[in-house]
Structure 1
């Protein structure tokens, strides 16, 4: 009898496109999963080998400290000490021999991948005898062992504990699932008991310092230094100078639901026109994302109170909430280095640093522009098509773009495709440097520093200003380049000797180098005004740059830059055609033009509307990849090697890729830390 179960569907050769395609996708999915597992096993092995310094009978082993080095995230551990990560060693050391083998470490890493790793680790930690159940004595012993004599006391004989463990101590034991429910409600009971402990006269209020002590014991590891300092100010939300249980409970709910708060804040600020929201907008968005209200008005007030540092009625940007969302947050202005710099004012080193940054900006713009221009320069032969008059006396040089390419290759060889590249590279450095730098400068001045938002009007102004500034270098560059390109083919047909760039510059003179500048302005200002806003919105709205800390890949950046260049290039083709006609010296029998308006009128009258878009396709094929590669190079060069990245909001929701593996151990501690924020910091008195 055939087996009724199979881990994979059978793939039949004649199963048809649909079934075959489905089976193929399943096989590919399984193969991808296997490759991912193999990669993860290799990473675990590298981590183990790098930290296992203890060798017994030729076998590498991890002791407690080496285990912590292997699992603890690198970097700032101010909220969770390294000693607290060591409590996971007892869970990993199932054999209780004080050392971990490779097999032990691999099993522990597999446990960290469980979706309930935090509850599972807590259960293993409380299950001292390894029986698979937890008794009242085990629960009390482990809980009490991590609480010092100065901690807020917890009554184990309360009705709440009896609901889970029965009235008779030891008469009822907890399995894993029952234990998870007990742990989920434990903090709520501790909060109630702590408030009752301080509310001696039972008037329903406690002092601000008592409230701060409760929050530090229950959730101190979840709060940044800024929020901890602001805890006593919660008393300002209502008159009386004291804090009620409702406010304490609301604050605890805010801390417990921080991940959901972050999602709501991210989405609400992203949809806001100015990138800022108030309490009403927060509550409206929270209500629209669920069947029932997620947060009460009091909880919303507490969120905005701590984010706004006590100031009421503010519209806040997402970055304002960072000090609440990120427990390791420290405002840049509050750092010791920043305070020293502010006190000392502008120093010589800071001036030199600014000069170095400016010089680097200018250099990177030139390097990026030269890179993009070199790659697509052969496509720039579109200038030859633009200059070709349909009413020319004699033969028509080129029938189409392909015919143009063949004749240039036949008459001038491969080097003909790069005729005029020298002046292009000489001029492209300052041109692109000014264009990119001016756009960044204007956008930076007009941008809200907290939201990172800029209005559409200023986006267009920034791009247009950048395009206008570049004409100082663009016009002389292009008039020389175009004459070099055009004379190459004309010389082959007419038998004339081609002239070099120096001859052309001398022939034109200083004023001649700016012939057609009005058309150049008419082309470059609209081009940049279209291009830079389109590029920015493609990155942000299509590829979601910055959303939950996302950084665009090379392909996404290249695609954004290339696609943005398509409409900008084609829509400004008429101005480019006119500019080319004005800058190229008319040969015998060709129409000459007196100026911008005259060129537009004569081209339209003699050649028709289509003539204004000659070379439009070539401009797209040139400008799109050119700006694509230029902007990609600029984006990567723009990261100063000495510049510190601004501090961003760092939470579980912003952790991606390989960083997830580094934070699994921290996440596995969540439930244990909810027992008491100091768990693991002191040696257990009984465990």
Structure 2
């Protein structure tokens, strides 16, 4: 910032803009970026590169700007950059212009330069009146330059009082309010304190039409319905103007207030309460709150509204949803789209599940061996603890021993995880309020539990084969028989045998998913604030959310997992035989105690938590990197408050243009020719 501090002292109210040409000291990286922008848009004239008004707009206008200002209107600032008034901007002029845009008050400084046409560093009465009049059409509501308000700033007509830069900024800040007062007085012919709805619309279009969506503009006359008489008072006009002037604060309060309510909706009381708690003094009056909810609620200001309901007021580019297209869409097409979308999610879930399962499979191997170890068997226990188990597997079976049974696991884990993720997404999508993006806790539990129940179709056969492969390593070594493959185990069990222990599997997977998915969703939203002001979670935040959510889900469902393991493992001599789910619970509790039901609990946390962390993280990343190509994007509200251009200079160029358009909506459109006449005065 040292170069900027050397430039800023030169840029003061008493210095013409051209003085910067001898004082610019720009970092090399900044200079190169400006040079690339200039060269990409410049045209060659007589061997030199210049920007004409069209190429200048291409160089400075934000791309994808979420405001109602058209790109062509940025040509207004061309006159500020073209200090020599030759109709072209050189490389030196462009450096000066970009340097000024780095000022924190660049918006007001640009407006000052626009009015200071003789570059004297001051603006007098005649200069202000001439520039103002040159940019306002003959059909506009007239402005009285001989009013007391103007005289307070500029003195009497032809007086000696002139405005420096700082005084000018205060004049510009209050100018719109004075224009509003004069416009109301001009249209209120009988001076009864009321104007007609059409007259109110005319006023707002002149001073703030660029800040409002077409939907709000069309409904401006309905402001008369807030009070009896079908006319609009001066108080209502001022209140509406205050809402527009503080629109960014209105949006911030609405976003924060809707984020905190349970249903994602607010009423006028919620709005005023949050506004009062967000500032030292009350920012908005009850009348202003009524106006906000009147236009957001389409005439019904008493209802509770979601963030999307306010979009037409907060977003100047808001367009009504294409309901007619949605109605004409046939059911068959919708069903087909739903099928393809589900299939797409199914594939992504399968790949993500395979990644997660492979990463944590050695932990799952240790967990299974520990759970199957029975304290009632005669002789010493094979494993003292999980670490001892890992050491013995590595010593006796080698590194590949940790991945015994991985093949069937990968074959089965794809449909298992895919169906779980897909079913959860489908039910949550159906139960989620499209306007608030909220889902009730009951539906979250239903979505997770149903997803867990559906996966058992694939989970049970997969796990019974996997478990028998995992436990036979030590048994084969101890009893002297060769380990059997997955095909042999499947033939031995038969179709019905593959679903042995399914009741325990259901008892484990339904509550696991019912706990896991809601916890995961609330961690993302409530802890890491996903979606708040458009925030997207990072890789670490997604991984942490998925990992933490797996901890309580894994441990609390350990008893069902222990019973499932005992039912699915083939009993050896000397071991207790279990007839079914209830019998297994009772016998384990009686013979081994309550703690036996939580055998392998820590290992299950260590396995399940990272497995689901990597699975969910992979699934989320796949959905972001490879989204469904025909997916209907959910309605969202993006405004300049949440989606700004990357370059701050372009933001300030847009803000400078807004200040000039606040003078009049047609500012600059008529002044291109008139501006040259002003220069020669």
For normalisation by structure 2, the TM-score amounts to 0.90
1:266 aligns with 2:255: yes
Cα deviation, 1:421-448, whole Å, max 9, x if unaligned, reads 1211221122112211221222222222
- The corresponding residue for 1:646 is 634
Q: Is the 8 A contact 2:66 2:639 kept in 1?
A: no
Distance 1:80 1:101, change over 3 A: same
- Which of 549, 552, 577 does residue 564 from structure 1 map onto? 549
**Map of 1:284 onto structure 2:** 273
Answer with 410-419 or 378-387: which moved more.
410-419
* Match runs of 1:650-669 below 5 Å: 650-655=638-643, 658=646, 662-669=650-657
Instruction: State how far apart, in whole Å, the 2-side matches of 1:208 and 1:400 are.
Output: 81
- Aligned equivalents of 2:467, 2:646: Cα separation in 1: 50
Q: Report the counterpart of residue 677 of structure 1 in structure 2.
A: 665
Question: Take 1:39 and 1:616, find their aligned partners in 2: how far apart are those partners?
Answer: 56
Residue in 2 that maps onto 1:252: 241
Partner of 1:493: 478
* Deviation for aligned residue 1:376: 1.7
Distance 1:404 1:40, change over 3 A: farther
- Of 221, 224, 227, the residue aligned with 1:235 is 224
Q: Secondary structure at 1:125's aligned position in 2?
A: helix
| Residues 1:438 and 1:162: Cα distance change in structure 2 (over 3 Å) | same
Aligned counterpart, 1:127 = 116
Determine if contact 2:451/2:510 at 8 Å carries over to the other structure.
yes
Q: Would you say the 8 A contact 1:146–1:685 is kept in 2?
A: no
- 8 A contact 1:224–1:326 mirrored in 2: yes
How far off its partner does 1:605 sit?
A: 2.8
Match of 2:37 in 1: 47
Q: Deviations over 1:8-44 (max 9, x none)?
A: xxxxxxxxxxxxxxxxxxxxxxxxxxxx987665544
Q: Does 1:626 align with 2:611?
A: yes
1:402 equivalent in alignment to 2:387: yes
Quick check: 174-183 or 483-492, which moved more?
A: 483-492
Q: State TM-score, norm by structure 1.
A: 0.89
Structure 2, unaligned stretches of length 5 or more? Answer: 6-25, 676-681
Deviations 1:241-291 (A, max 9, x none): 111111111111111111111121122212222111111221122122223
Instruction: Evaluate the alpha carbon distance shift between residue 390 and residue 309 of structure 1 in structure 2; reply closer, same or farther with a 3 A threshold.
Output: same
Q: Distance in 2 between matches of 1:659 and 1:549?
A: 18
1:54 touches 1:63 (CA, 8 Å); kept in 2? no
- Which of 416, 423, 428 aligns to 2:401? It is 416
Pick the aligned partner of 1:371 from 355, 370, 386: 355
Structure 1 runs, 4 residues or longer, greater than 6 Å off: 36-39
Q: Relative to structure 2, which stretch is displaced further, 37-46 or 522-531?
A: 37-46
What residue in structure 1 maps to residue 168 of structure 2? Answer: 179
Q: Does 1:439 align with 2:428?
A: no
- In the alignment, the residues of structure 2 paired with residue 294 and residue 615 of structure 1 have an alpha-carbon distance, to the nearest angstrom, of 58
Q: 1:533 maps to which residue?
A: 518
Which among 29, 51, 59 is matched to residue 62 of structure 1?
Answer: 51
Counterpart of 2:290?
301
Aligned partner of 2:193 in structure 1 is: 204
| CA deviation map 1:525-564 (0-9, x unaligned) | 1111111111111111111111111111122111111111
- Give yes or no for contact 1:562–1:627 (8 Å, CA) kept in 2: yes
Distance of 2:394 and 2:406 partners within structure 1:
16
Following superposition, the deviation at residue 640 of structure 1 comes to: 1.7
Distance in 2, Cα, partners of 1:256 & 1:201: 29
* 3-state secondary structure, aligned to 1:652: coil
How big is the shift at 1:484?
0.9
How many Å separate the matches in 2 of 1:666 and 1:271? 32
Matching of residue 582 in structure 1 with residue 567 in structure 2: yes
Distance in 2 (alpha carbons) for counterparts of 1:559 and 1:106: 46
Alignment-derived partner of residue 116 in structure 1: 105
Deviations 1:74-97 (A, max 9, x none): 236782122211111222334445
The answer to whether the Cα contact below 8 Å between 2:563 and 2:581 also exists between their aligned partners in 1 is yes
Question: Retained in 2: the 8 A contact 1:276–1:317?
Answer: yes
Q: 1:100 to 1:399 in 2, by over 3 A?
A: farther
Counterpart Cα distance in 1 of 2:657 and 2:91: 22
CA contact (8 A) 1:435 1:466 kept: yes
Contact 1:318 1:451 in 2 (8 A): yes
Mark the runs of 5 or more structure 1 residues left unpaired by the alignment: 1-6, 8-35
Q: CA deviation at 1:215?
A: 0.6
Kindly indicate whether the alpha-carbon contact (under 8 Å) linking 1:570 and 1:619 is maintained by their aligned counterparts in 2. Answer: yes
8 Å CA contact 2:67–2:211 kept in 1: the answer is no
Equivalent in the alignment of 2:309: 320
Whether the 8 Å contact between 1:83 and 1:680 is mirrored in structure 2 is no
| 8 Å contact from structure 2 (residues 42, 51) kept in 1 | yes
Q: Secondary structure at the match of 1:54?
A: strand
Moved more, 220-229 or 94-103: 94-103
Range 409-418 or range 382-391, more displaced = 409-418
What CA deviation, in whole Å up to 9, does each residue of 1:482-537 have, x standing for no partner?
11111123223322111111111111122211111121112111111111111111
Give CA-to-partner distance per residue, 1:176-217, whole Å, 9 cap, x none. Answer: 110011001100010011111211121221111111111111
Query: Whole-Å Cα distance in 2 between the matches of residues 320 and 40 of structure 1?
Result: 41
**Aligned residues: CA RMSD:** 2.3
In structure 2, do the counterparts of structure 1 residues 41 and 630 end up closer, same or farther at CA, with 3 Å as the change threshold? farther
Give the Cα separation in 2 of the matches to 1:118 and 1:161. Answer: 22
Q: Go from structure 1 to structure 2 and tell me whether the alpha carbon gap of 1:130 and 1:417 turns closer, same or farther (over 3 Å shift).
A: same
Q: 1:213 to 1:44 in 2, by over 3 A?
A: same
How many Å separate the matches in 2 of 1:218 and 1:279?
27
Q: 1:340 to 1:490 in 2, by over 3 A?
A: same
